Amino acid sequence: MQRKYIFLLLIVLLVVIAVLVDLPNPPQAINSLMGRDVQPALGLDLRGGVQVLLQPSAGFEASNQNLQDASKILDNRSNALGVSEQVFQVIGSQYILGEFPGKTNTDQVVSILQQTGLLEFIDAGSTYLEPGTVVVTDVASSGSQPPSVQPTASASSSATPEAAPTETKVYHTVMTGADLKTVNVTSSSTDPNPYIAFTLTDSGASVFKDFTTQNVGKYLAIVLDKKVVSTPVIQNAITDGKGIIQGKYTVDSANQLATVLRFGSLPVPLEVAQSTLIGPSLGQDSLNKSITAGILAFIAIALLMLLYYRFPGLIATVALMIYVAISFAIFKLIPVTLTLPGIAGFVLSIGMAVDANVLIFERLKEELRGGRMLNQAIELGWKRAWLSIRDSNVSTLITCVILFWFGSQFGASIVKGFSLTLALGVLVSMFTAVVVTRSFLHLALDRIKFADHPKWFGL
């Protein structure tokens, strides 16, 4: 009989942790343990924002690597333009999903995404420019860029603070990324550090020849979207259109620079396959409504349980509270992005959690009617109900897995959120039904003589 106290201790411990996590401002210890501020992640439908699904323009094929590169570039570009909290991810085999919480203007977002990015080599003279410095250059921003787009019109004004322009000096652009033909990362036997080898187009080669001959020993900064990426020194004149960039690169950092050089313009042109804009007031309204509905649903279930099952119903209500606390803590910790259908899935899983309790109580009643002792009836009722609980929940989990897969294919975060919350709900409900309800029943009832209080059990 010691086991039940161990279980009880475990439950109390879990509940305390869960409640601490659930607090609007969780204790510092939890935040530092998770390495971030533990807050509920709200989906776009609840906080408002723009979601855009991009695909390669018609006629272009893209490998998964292309898409990964593109999504990284888009992310960097959005950062440079002062967008915050954006998320890019590659979906399935041909989509990139971008989410921009809090944005209300689809046009602005799309224009950020569709410009191909401007790569420039600028004459830095004898000043070394730190990577990340925002510069002003004299290149005409049209030219090879798509005409509909106004690249980086707001770049200098919305630049991130650490990259504020040092001075309003206008740098001369020697050439743009359009003149780069090939870029490779290589290493030689004499130098252990990898370096980047590039070749130029004919026109690029002639410009480069003139410039490098006159500026040996000076700096040539590589700039993407007006932000310095790297500032190598010109060591020799480059006359044949083939050059290398040396430095203390690791394999990773060399590859990173090569990616910028190669794909400063996106590896594939992208177009919008789907976009969604949710106004912030609509989101807030939905959030308030679903919270109200959740609370009301909980009260209704608790009343139903108390009226129908009496004393065990009280235990079920406590178990449900624990269930809600633990689930919400898990949602915050993972974090699961809560969307409107996600919350519906969660509220629905409360219903499933009730089912586990109902199964146990109905069995308990049957065993009591059959004349069993109370603690025997609890054990038997629980054991017999367990198979039903297990099998029925496994089938729900199978559906959840398939829904999740389906949702992942299309960036349908609605479907994904729903299946994830429902699946987590089912798992936690199995835990509360098996551990919490059972321990509580034993703890509270082992000392009661059932024969004295049949009404407590609705018999």
Partner 1 sequence: MKINIIKHRYWYFLFSLLIIIPGIIGYALWGLPLSIDFTSGSILEVRFEKGKAPQPAQVVALYTDYGFDSPRVQTAENDRLIIRSKDMPQTTKQAIVDEMQTRFNSTVTVDRFDTVGPTIGAQVTQRAFVAVALAALGILAYITFAFRKVNHAFRYGVAAIIAMIHDILVVISVQVFLSHFLGWEVDSLFLTALLTVIGFSVHDTIVVFDRLRENSMIYRRVPYETVVNHSIVQTLDRSIMTTFTVLLVLFILALFGGVTIRHFVIILFVGILSGAYSSIFDASPILVVWENREWRTWFKGKKPAPTATP
- Residue 208 or 309: the one with the smaller Cβ distance to partner 1 is 309
Residue type, 326: I
State in angstroms the smallest separation of the CB of 279 from partner 1: 4
Distance CA 459, CA 364 (A): 11
- Residue 55 or 176: the one with the smaller Cβ distance to partner 1 is 55
CA-based R_g, the chain, Å: 31
- Residue 107 or 191: the one with the smaller Cβ distance to partner 1 is 107
- Residue 57 or 214: the one with the smaller Cβ distance to partner 1 is 57
- Residue 134 or 422: the one with the smaller Cβ distance to partner 1 is 422
Nearest in space to 215 (alpha carbons), one of 239, 237, 231, 197: 237
State in angstroms the smallest separation of the CB of 267 from partner 1: 20
Other CB atoms within a 10 A radius of the CB of residue 93 amount to: 10
State in angstroms the smallest separation of the CB of 447 from partner 1: 27
Distance CA 188, CA 193 (A): 8
Other CB atoms within a 10 A radius of the CB of residue 67 amount to: 25
State in angstroms the smallest separation of the CB of 8 from partner 1: 27
- Residue 239 or 276: the one with the smaller Cβ distance to partner 1 is 276
State in angstroms the smallest separation of the CB of 253 from partner 1: 37
- Residue 148 or 190: the one with the smaller Cβ distance to partner 1 is 148
Is residue 379 within 8 Å of residue 439, measured between CB atoms?
no
Distance CA 448, CA 67 (A): 65
Is residue 96 within 8 Å of residue 71, measured between CB atoms?
yes
Is residue 257 within 8 Å of residue 76, measured between CB atoms?
no
State in angstroms the smallest separation of the CB of 271 from partner 1: 8
Is residue 105 within 8 Å of residue 140, measured between CB atoms?
no
Exposed / middle / buried, residue 314 (Cβ in 10 Å: 0-12, 13-18, 19+):
middle
Distance CA 205, CA 207 (A): 6
State in angstroms the smallest separation of the CB of 121 from partner 1: 33
Distance CA 5, CA 11 (A): 10
- Residue 260 or 428: the one with the smaller Cβ distance to partner 1 is 428
State in angstroms the smallest separation of the CB of 61 from partner 1: 14
Residue type, 366: E
